[in-house]
Structure 1
């Protein structure tokens, strides 16, 4: 078994190589994993590690029809093996048959979603690397197929770190220097609580087209990141600003752009519930965590970069972090080395010109 695991880990690295996109990597991995562990359908979702919401999914036949219901039982209904639970678990892989001791009827998700769709058992893996989750993998077996075994669960559990590592690497790979950034304005939509589009502006049609293209889905399917943020917003029964802030994803799309999608719950006419959705280029606060990870910055260096972008001087940086100006300079030197620049002015200009982190770089105080 150890030899088989090591061989498959090497295969994972190979599948992620040669500039594979996240979609290509996930599609290929499902195909090769089926050669080792039989299953009837699969869903492989990439997620925003900040909010654990979907940034796009690869779904096989039979899963697409129930995909929106799976969102409901992840974010709205309490049930066995939610991904939020698995992310916090010592072993982030579980089967529905194992969690219910073979009594799948104890699961509302099984009774109302899986069984009506012809599925019997489900194996779920939260893909965690370095304490951050980058995706969810779900395997399904139909009625009449054997249940997932403990050894199969253990096999997938051994692969989790390697799969998560490659998902992370793909997500954090920096866009090319000559990337042309999308200049389209924000898309704004209003949806019903059933996720039917009620109204939208012209820009949202543009963003919907791109999201569907990136996910390889048809025009009648609402992109999964929009489904995720909307379902999460609906789960906030009070609809308060504090909780609705979680209904948000930042995703890196194939051509290197960073896009933010956010939903807020609205009180509609006659007590109805509606959802406002915003889609557009990511803000500095959304992008910087990923850029900091991509450049391998330490936690302290991330704090300093965030303050540099906000325009703080060395003295202000030292005061805000309760460290000396000399220590600030040491951290800045390390940041310069990791990002390939030689000064604060050059660092800001790189963030501005390459990543569009902010509108107009003010470098007058950076002498």
Structure 2
């Protein structure tokens, strides 16, 4: 009889094998589902792609859960101060948590559990973040039926280890970024009403909506990224904050940035969404994270992109030239190039040429 430990070892080995293949994010999620469903013991899962820089959800993929319930899940995540939310798990420095653990065995303390998880017929929730190398590559929520009991510590530990493997795979799926040509185009604009349905859109915006389409279109009539951007904008305005830009990638691999503004008052929370093609500066945080550069390596890489030589970098960053050279060697190795010229060409030749100041 196979022990739980053997089952978990096999699951991790299978995940590693899976992630050695050149897969897209949806393919990674579906492959991971086949590996983890029995090992973690869940009955439903919802996978999400995210903006690697901000962590905001940009897509939804599920074969188990009602997409109609995702609207409520999103509103609870943004507007409710609850237990074991994705932002809480991230701040804790962990990659996974369960409602049962976070509430000391009393999941009913969670509003999310009372209003959504329990009514849907589930007894516990396991949330996992696929964060690695300074990037937020995705997240997932795993639900299990009440008769399975709460998630066990061993399963939570497995989820933590699986998250690291899947985060690395999702990071790699973003490469090679420089193969995606930059196509200059004017900004596109659309307006979303209080129900996040399009009230107005220019011709360019209507065309781009199809480029970002995902499973949630059937529920919201617009892709997940636009709904998340609008709700984040409303939440930011309510809290007196500036809404963050949201980076999102089309099916063809082109990056765009969604900037938002709440137009109306409390009774009319319409949101304008401006869609612009991502510049080099917009994409560079994702590029650096996808290569797995450390914070110091990113500083050195940015100086290289600005045309600084080794001595200038050493002086600006208060390090020796030998240390700079060590960082450069590591940067080039991670990026798969051999020289400064190759590195710069790989990053910016296909992107919007602009001044790095």
Name the SS for the 1:264 alignment partner: strand
- Identify which of 277, 284, 291 aligns with 2:287: 291
User: 1:174, CA displacement in angstroms?
Assistant: 0.9
Give the TM-score of the pair, scaled to structure 2.
Answer: 0.82
Residues 1:84 and 2:81 are matched in the alignment: no
Matched residue of 1:149: which SS? coil
Instruction: State the shift of 1:53 in Å.
Output: 0.7
Q: How far apart, in 2, do the equivalents of 1:90 and 1:315 lie?
A: 36
Instruction: Give the 5 Å matches for 1:209-220.
Output: 209-212=210-213, 215-220=214-219
Inter-partner Cα distance in structure 1 for 2:228 and 2:270:
15
Change (3 A) 1:127 1:54: same
After superposition, the Cα gap between the structure-2 partners of 1:2 and 1:62, relative to the gap in structure 1 and judged at 3 Å, is closer
Match of 1:146 in 2: 148
| SS of aligned partner of 1:267 | coil
Give, in angstroms, the shift of residue 233 of structure 1.
1.6
SS in 2 for 1:79: coil
Deviations 1:81-137 (A, max 9, x none): 111111233543222233334433322112222333343322212233356543222
State the alpha-carbon separation in 2 of the partners of residues 360 and 131 from structure 1.
25
1:59 aligned onto 2:74 = no
* 1:42–1:63 Cα contact (<8 Å) kept: no
Moved more, 275-284 or 251-260: 251-260
Q: CA RMSD in A?
A: 3.3
Considering Cα pairs closer than 8 Å and 6+ residues apart, tell me whether 1 or 2 has the greater RCO: 2
Contact 1:123 1:148 in 2 (8 A): no
Matched, 1:359 2:356: no
C-alpha change, 1:301 and 1:32, in structure 2 (3 Å) is: closer
Counterpart in 2 of 1:255? 252
CA distance in 1, matches of 2:249, 2:261: 22
Q: Is the 8 A contact 2:42 2:143 kept in 1?
A: yes
Secondary structure of 2:13's counterpart equals: helix
1:276–1:99 distance in 2 versus 1, CA, 3 Å: same
Whole-angstrom distance in 1 between the partners of 2:14 and 2:325: 43
User: Is the Cα–Cα contact under 8 Å of residues 134 and 292 in structure 2 kept in the other structure?
Assistant: no
CA distance in 1, matches of 2:77, 2:232: 9
Q: How does 1:1-367 map to 2 (within 5 A)?
A: 1-89=4-92, 91-130=94-133, 132-142=135-145, 145-150=147-152, 151-171=154-174, 173-175=175-177, 177=179, 179-182=180-183, 184-212=185-213, 215-221=214-220, 222-238=222-238, 240=240, 243-246=241-244, 248-268=245-265, 271-310=267-306, 320-322=316-318, 338=335, 340=337, 342-344=339-341, 347-354=343-350, 356=351, 358-359=352-353
Label 1:360 to 1:34 Cα distance change in 2 as closer, same or farther (>3 A). Answer: closer
TM-aligned CA distance change 1:8 to 1:322, over 3 Å: same
Separation (CA, whole Å) in 2 of partners of 1:100 and 1:360: 50
Question: Secondary structure at 2:6's aligned position in 1?
Answer: helix
Counterparts of 1:206 and 1:156 in 2: how far apart (Å)? 39
Q: How many residues align?
A: 350
Are the aligned partners of 1:352 and 1:360 in contact in 2 as well (CA < 8 Å)? no
Shift of 1:43: 0.6
CA 1:155–1:341 in structure 2 vs 1: closer, same or farther (change >3 Å)? Answer: closer
